[in-house]
Amino acid sequence: MFYIYPPSGKISLHHMENSVFTRLDYLEHLYSDRVKYFHGNFEFLLENTLHDRVGHFTLRLLAALSSDLWTYWSVREVLLFKHRLAKISSKLLYKLLRSFSQQIKPFNSESLIQLTLYQISILYLKPHIFKHLSYNHSEECKLYSCKVRFELLPNLIKSRKVTINAGYAIIYCSQWKLLLESLFFTYLRYEVNNLTSYALRIIKTDQRLKVLYQRIQKNIFKSETKYGIITAVNINTESNHFPPCMKHLHTVLRNKHRLSHYARFTLSLFLKDCGMELNDAIIYWKEEYSKEHNCNSVCLHNWNASEKKFIYSIRHLYGLEGSKKDYAAPDCSIICKTMPGPKYEGGCPFQHFDEIHLKHLLSSSLKERKLMNFIKTIHRRKPNEACAEYLKLITKRTQILFISNPVQFYHMLNKT
Ligand code: SF4
C-alpha cells in the first residue's frame, strides 16, 4: 500500500491496462463516496499484489508528465491509502513497517523522506510501541512521540494538527496514521518530481505508454466535461482558451464565414468535446453559414439552402444520426499528419505555419519580447512539445510536458 520500489518481471499490456483503469475507476468511486456502486474487478486492487503495484506505479510514472494528472491522481491515491490504513490489521501494519526497514538503506539514502520512513519504522517496530499502536488507544494518547522535519508534513502543518519545535513536528503515538498519510503524500510528490525527465523520455519512445497516457487523459477529461460550458454566445471569449490550432479555425470562420470540410469537422468535434451543446452548435454554425462568404473558400454552402443537411451532419457528429458513433476530437498527432488539400485552413500551427503566421496567431497571448524568445526556442521541437511550452508560458505553470489533444489544452487553460 505504501510502495517504495516498483515490481520487477513482465506483465501483458492487457493486464497492465486493466490494473490502471480499474484503479482509476475505483479511485473515482472512492473520491465521490460511491464505492458501493463500484462493479470493477477487485482482483486488480488487492493490496501488495502485482496488479495493485503495477496500477500504482504506472500512474505514478504518468502523473509525472502533467500537473493536472498529478493533481487528479495524488488526491485520490492518498484517499485510498487513508482508506486502507483505517482498516489495517496488526499483521499488515507489521508487514508495512518491515517493508520500510527492509527496502530503505539508511546509509545509501540521500533523501530525507526515505530516511524518515526508515527511522519511523525502526521506532514503531519496537515491541512495546508496536503493541501499543496495534490496540485502540485514546485519540489523545501522548505516551510516545517522535520528531519529524516540518517540511515533510505540509498537510499536518497547514491544518495545525501538530506542534512545531525548532523545525521539527512533534508526533504523538495517537497520530501515527496521520503521520503515515502525510508522509505518503510527500513521498509521492518527491518520487513524481524525480521521475519527470525519465517519464518524458519513455513516453517519447514507448508507443504503448504514450497511447495509455492519452487514453487516461481522455477518460478523466471526458468524465469532467460538463455540456454547456461553451455556448454560441460566449464562444468568442472562450476562444481565448483554445489551443492555437482551434483558435485559428474559429477566427477564420468568423472572418470568412466558411470552412473547408475537414476543418469544419475538426472544429465541430473539438467544440463538442469541450462541452458545447447540440443546440448551441447549430446556432453557431447557422450564424456563420447564413452570411455571405467573403473569400474563395472551397465551401460554398449556404445555410438557408441546405439547412436540413447541415443539421443532420451536426447531429451525426454528436452521435445522434446514422451509425450513432461517438466521434472524438482528433489527437494532435492526427492533426499534425493530416493535410487534406491545399485550401485546408487547419493543421497544427507549430507544424504547418510559417514564422510570420505563427507570430501573428500567438501575438494576442504573448508580448513581443516573450513571443520572439519563444519562437527562437521552438524550431527544433516537436509540435506538441512547443505547444506545451506555449501553454506553460501563458499559464506560468512549470509542469506541463505533453499535449496530446486540443481538448486537453483547453481544459488545462480553463483550470488555471
Ligand atoms: Fe493544436 Fe495539438 Fe498543435 Fe497544440 S500541438 S496547436 S493542441 S494540434
Q: Which of 2-6, 226-230, 292-296, 347-351 has the lowest mean pLDDT?
A: 226-230
Based on the domain organization, do 186 and 245 belong to the same domain? no
Site to probe by mutation for ligand 1, drawn from 335, 393, 395, 411 as the one with most ligand atoms within 8 Å of Cβ, is: 335
Q: Which residues, 6+ apart, have CB-to-CB distance to 303 below 8 Å?
A: 285, 286, 289, 290, 310
For residue 24, give the CATH number of its domain. Answer: 1.20.930.80
318 shares its domain with 403: yes
Residue 113 has a CB neighbour count (10 Å cut-off) of 20
Cα of 88 vs centre of ligand 1, distance in Å, is 46
pLDDT of residue 270: 95
Kindly report, residue by residue over 53-103, the tens digit of the pLDDT: 999 999 999 998 877 788 889 999 999 999 999 888 889 999 999 998 888
Q: Are residues 322 and 271 in the same domain?
A: yes
pLDDT at 159: 78
Cβ atoms of 310 and 289 within 8 Å: the answer is: yes
Kindly state whether residues 242 and 182 are assigned to the same domain: no
Q: How confident is the model at residue 228 (pLDDT cuts 50, 70, 90)?
A: low
Residue 1 lies in a domain: no
Q: Whose CA is nearest to atom 2 of ligand 1?
A: 332
Nearest CA to ligand 1 atom 5: 384
| CB atoms near residue 346 (< 10 Å) | 24
Mean pLDDT of the chain: 87
**Mean pLDDT of all residues in 228-239:** 87
Task: Report which protein residue has its CA nearest ligand 1's atom 3.
Answer: 348
What's the rounded mean pLDDT across residues 110-123? 88
**Residue 217 and residue 195 in contact, taking contact as beta carbons nearer than 8 Å:** no
Listed residues 194, 221, 248: the one ending a domain:
221
More confident residue, 271 or 203: 271
In a domain, 288, yes or no: yes
Going through 106-175 in order, the beta strands assigned E by DSSP cover 145-149, 163-165, 168-172
C-alpha to C-alpha distances, 213 to 52, 240, 377, nearest whole angstrom = 18, 26, 26
- pLDDT band, residue 300 (cuts 50/70/90): low
DSSP per residue, 19-67: HHHHHHHHHHHHHTT-GGG--S-GGGG-TTSHHHHHHHHHHHHHHTTBH
* Residue 269 forms part of a structural domain: yes
Checking if the pLDDT of 266 tops 90, the result is yes
The reply to whether 240 and 183 lie within a common domain is: no
281 and 361: one domain?
Answer: yes
Q: Are residues 19 and 131 in the same domain?
A: yes
Has residue 92 been placed in a domain?
A: yes
Instruction: Determine the angle formed by the axes of helices 112-124 and 90-103, rounding to 10 degrees.
Output: 130
Gap from CA of 13 to ligand 1 centroid (Å): 28
Name the residue of 218, 333, 409 to mutate for ligand 1: max ligand atoms within 8 A of Cβ.
409
Domain final residue, candidates 200, 221, 242: 221
pLDDT, average across residues 16-42: 90
Residue 382 has pLDDT above 90, yes or no: no
Same domain, 55 and 166: yes
Summarised one tens digit per residue, pLDDT across range 354-375 is 899 999 999 988 899 999 999 9
| Cα-based distances in Å from 404 to 66, 101, 388 | 11, 41, 9
Specify whether 172 is located in the same domain as 260. no
Q: 257 CA to middle of ligand 1, Å?
A: 23
The pLDDT assigned to 5 comes to: 86
Q: Is residue 294 part of a domain?
A: yes
Of 178, 196, 221, which closes a domain?
A: 221
pLDDT digits (tens, 9 = 90+) for 34-64: 888 888 899 999 988 999 999 999 999 999 8
Using the predicted structure, report yes or no on whether residue 398 has a pLDDT greater than 80: no
The closest residue, in CA terms, to atom 4 on ligand 1 is 387
* pLDDT at 336 exceeding the cut of 80: yes
What φ, ψ does residue 66 adopt, rounded to 5°?
A: -150, 145
Q: Say whether both 184 and 306 belong to one domain.
A: no
Alpha-carbon distance 364 to 221, whole Å? 27
Same domain, 164 and 239: no
Report CA(383)–ligand 1 centroid distance (Å).
7
What's the pLDDT score for residue 222?
Answer: 60
Confidence of residue 218 (pLDDT cuts 50, 70, 90): confident
Mean pLDDT value across residues 315-324: 86
405 CA → ligand 1 middle, Å: 7
Testing ligand 1's pocket by substitution, the residue of 350, 358, 382, 385 carrying the most ligand atoms inside 8 A of its CB is: 350
Length of the chain: 416
CA angle 244, 383, 363 (to 5 degrees): 35
The alpha carbon of 48 and the centre of ligand 1 are apart by a number of angstroms equal to 40
Ligand 1 atom 7: the closest Cα is on which residue?
406
Whether residue 90 lies inside any domain: the answer is yes
**Mean pLDDT calculated for residue range 193-198:** 85
| Site of grid cell 447531429 | 315
- pLDDT for 136 equals 66
Tell me what pLDDT residue 80 has: 95
Give the per-residue pLDDT at 282.
93
Grid cell for residue 157: 502543518
pLDDT at 415 over 90: no
| pLDDT (0 to 100) of residue 401 | 62
In DSSP terms, 77 is beta-bridged to: none
The pLDDT of residue 399: 63
Co-location of 366 and 406 in the same domain: yes
**Grid cell listed for 241:** 482558451
| Atom number of ligand 1 nearest to Cα 408 | 7
Contacts of 371 (CB under 8 A, 6+ apart): 359, 362, 363
Side-chain half-sphere CA neighbours of 243 within 13 A: 34
Q: Identify whether 395 is part of a domain.
A: yes
- Total of domains in the chain: 2
Q: What is the pLDDT of residue 109?
A: 61
User: What residue ranges line ligand 1, CB within 6 angstroms?
Assistant: 243-245, 332, 335, 348-350, 383-384, 387, 403, 406, 409
pTM: 0.62
| Helices and strands in the chain, H and E counts | 20, 3
Q: Decide if 6 is inside a domain.
A: no
CB atoms within 10 A of CB 396: 7
Domain holding 335, by residue range, is 230-416
Confidence at 253, pLDDT banded by 50, 70, 90: very high
